[in-house]
Homo-oligomer: A and B are copies of this chain.
């Protein structure tokens, strides 16, 4: 009996077994997808210590731009919209609006009051973009960092998303250490978990990869 179980399948048997398995998978998937009928603007959060939070946010921005949607981007941390992304977005200047808070939070300064004022200014710009009716998608890049340092009250952001964000606008919020209150109200949340990082082996930040 044991040898029966172990017997090698012929290529034909493998193919038939595979076809059957895939047919069942497809049927199960089709059945599930048929129940998904709601369309709505999503609140999306990318957090975690790994790479890819802003990168996937900008990936969604480009996807949306590809569809011809208008997209807004607010940068909460100075210099975090990298050269490569900025230059790539220039080819979509008909569709994308970027708000860079020139005085934004940065590791280079230690001026808390200025950072708080910059966070407030960026947040006001964000609210205006989201409620304007002009954009299908708004990326709030690194908002989580500002919230983490309590430069903006999380209650205010949550309240806005719950009551003032229009139903049909997608909002993406990135940055590590997302607050629980934000994850609570998110429709889609992903934790970019670091498995391996090249800095560990002495590799420096490189054009096209880190910036």
A residues in contact (CB < 8 Å) with B: 11, 14-15, 18-23, 25-26, 29, 32-33, 35-40, 42, 44-48, 50-52, 54-60, 62-69, 82-92, 107-113, 136-137, 170, 183, 186-199, 201-209, 211
Contacts and interface: CB of A to CB of B under 8 A. Distances in A.
B55 A63 contact: yes
A189 B46 CA distance: 16
A40 to B, nearest CB: 6
A62 B60 contact: no
Nearest to A203: B38
Contacts of A88: 62-63, 65-66, 92
Nearest to A68: B87
Contact of A191 (B18, B83, B193, B206): B193
Q: How many copies does the complex hold?
A: 2
Contact of A39 (B92, B113, B206): B206
A208 to B, nearest CB: 4
A42 B198 contact: yes
Nearest to A44: B209
